[in-house]
Amino acid sequence: MFELYPDASKALANAKEHQFKTAVVTTIARFKFENALLPVRRYIDVVMDGYEAGCEKTNPKMYKKTLEALKVAPSEAVMIGDDLEIDVMLPKKLGIHAILLDREGKTQGSTPADAIAKDLNEAIEKIEVVALTT
């Protein structure tokens, strides 16, 4: 059973206050997590799972389909995720900005991410800075 991180509700509400478009991007089948999303579903514009995209998250097609659904260009998008390879490196190859979510503070030294955030609220705060400076 999937559960939302405690900071998800406030962060998503904050994202919508900033008029950001939002998406959940995951390989996991929607039926496995959709109940967990119920408290925040009103803040999410697009849910892109492996079935909807027709591929896993490691495939660039997943991100391209999400951008199409959101009707945004890669340069207008910011991916927030905790996996350096899949959530940062792959989106950056497609021209998408990326914020590494490092809840445990394990990232040391340089990183290909545009920014590092300790939680989702900090990541939302960094979106405009990342989009404007990179």
Place of tokens 């849910």: 47
CA-based nearest residue to 77, from 118, 29, 1, 134: 134
Q: What is the β-pairing status of strands 97-101 and 78-81?
A: parallel
pLDDT at 133: 64
The answer to whether the CB of 30 falls within 8 A of the CB of 36 is no
Positions in the chain short of pLDDT 50: none
pLDDT of residue 127: 92
Domain boundaries, the chain: 8-133
DSSP letter, residue 43: G
Superfamily of domain 8-133 in the CATH hierarchy:
HAD superfamily/HAD-like (3.40.50.1000)
Half-sphere exposure of 109 (CA within 13 A, CB side): 0
The predicted pLDDT at position 132 comes to 63
Report the SS3 class of residue 81. strand
Residue 121's pLDDT is what? 96
Predicted local confidence at residue 129, as pLDDT: 79
